[in-house]
Structure 1
Amino acid sequence: MIDYAESCTQMTEVRTSVDINASIEEVFAAFTDWAAQGEWMVGTTVEVTKGDGRSVGSELSAFTGMHLGFKIGFLDTMTITAWEAPYRVDVLHTGRVVKGTGVMEVVALAGGQSRFLWSEDLDLPLGALGRLGWPLVRPAFIAGVKHSLKQLGRYIEQQIEQKG
């Protein structure tokens, strides 16, 4: 797993990856099954709000948080800006809290394995306060993404086993 997070004046980069015992096609199909992202992405539900969810211009809405009879969390809206099946999807985050770009990419490894790479270039919310708070939030944020990617790997491998 490769992990990288750097904070600069405006944008913050987050990079991580996971190796999965699956083909690039299987990994791509799983991570672009937006409705099923809640199976592996910590505390998140995703839905397609415009288009087919499989082409440039489609829009997605991801709620991350808890449902306690009411919702506590934030909404991450995004537009698909690149769709290169079965290798890569780029998004533009357009919400109030999450702004910036994201790339989800799959590369083939030896032995039928794949590496799923997750990267974000985020404009931190709350201006200077957000930049000051990021060093405190960053470890938990990265841990959550890493956990989610490990869950994605397990989810895909279980799906393959069940089909087996």
Structure 2
Amino acid sequence: MDGTGSCHAEASVVLGLAPEDAWDVVMDWERQSRWMLFTRVWATENDGTGVGGGVAARTSVGGIGFTDDMVITHWDPPRECTVKHLGTVVRGTGTFTITAGSSGGSRFTWAEDVVPPLGRVGTAGWVVVRPVFEAMMRRSLRRLVREVHA
């Protein structure tokens, strides 16, 4: 957690793809629905590309969920995309970063800097939530690897 009340979570994976190809896979918002746990993702504004582009994600478990509206605030293909979460449940930023690997592949890093709901209670609860959230991120990334190499 930083001084702004933002809480950090991060996971990364090596993909056997050149950075440009990894970017194309990762930034295919609808395709994220196949690898991101419990989530359906779609572009809303400007096809989900470029600064100002929009994206939405519906996350639900057992019929209970929420929709997370986002706007792209940083767009640097094939390296980095940052979105600002605009919702009441999820606020903060999410960043996808792709770096070239030494063997022709690439490393994909998914980072979230979120302000938990419920104020100080939510922030205090981050100690418990973060390991679970990061485990879900890692599981999603394993699904991405299977998706890429299927």
Q: Normalising TM by the smaller chain, what interval?
A: over 0.9
Alignment partners' CA distance in 2, 1:109 and 1:49: 32
Which of residues 30, 34, 45 is equivalent to 2:29? 34
Q: How does 1:37-116 map to 2 (within 5 A)?
A: 37-66=32-61, 71-116=63-108
Kindly indicate whether residue 9 of structure 2 is the aligned counterpart of residue 17 of structure 1.
Answer: no
Question: How far does residue 143 in structure 1 lie from its aligned partner after superposition?
Answer: 0.5
Question: What is the total number of aligned residue pairs between the two structures?
Answer: 149
SS of corresponding position for 2:49: coil
Higher Rg: 1
Percent same amino acid among aligned pairs?
A: 38
Give the alignment's Cα RMSD to 1 decimal. Answer: 1.3
Contact kept? 1:22, 1:157, Cα under 8 Å: no
Amino acid at match of 1:79: V
Which of residues 122, 128, 147 is equivalent to 1:130? 122
Q: Which residue of 1 aligns with 2:138?
A: 146
Alignment partners' CA distance in 1, 2:107 and 2:142: 11
SS of corresponding position for 2:103: helix
User: Which structure 1 residue ranges, 5 or more long, are not aligned?
Assistant: 1-6, 159-164
Question: How far does residue 31 in structure 1 lie from its aligned partner after superposition?
Answer: 0.9
Question: How far does residue 155 in structure 1 lie from its aligned partner after superposition?
Answer: 1.0
SS of corresponding position for 1:42: coil
SS of corresponding position for 2:48: coil
TM-score (structure 2 length as normaliser): 0.93
Question: How far does residue 132 in structure 1 lie from its aligned partner after superposition?
Answer: 2.1
User: Which structure 2 residue ranges, 5 or more long, are not aligned?
Assistant: none
Question: How far does residue 110 in structure 1 lie from its aligned partner after superposition?
Answer: 1.5
Contact kept? 2:57, 2:68, Cα under 8 Å: yes
Segments of 4+ in structure 1 off by > 6 A?
none
Alignment partners' CA distance in 1, 2:131 and 2:80: 26
Alignment partners' CA distance in 2, 1:51 and 1:40: 23
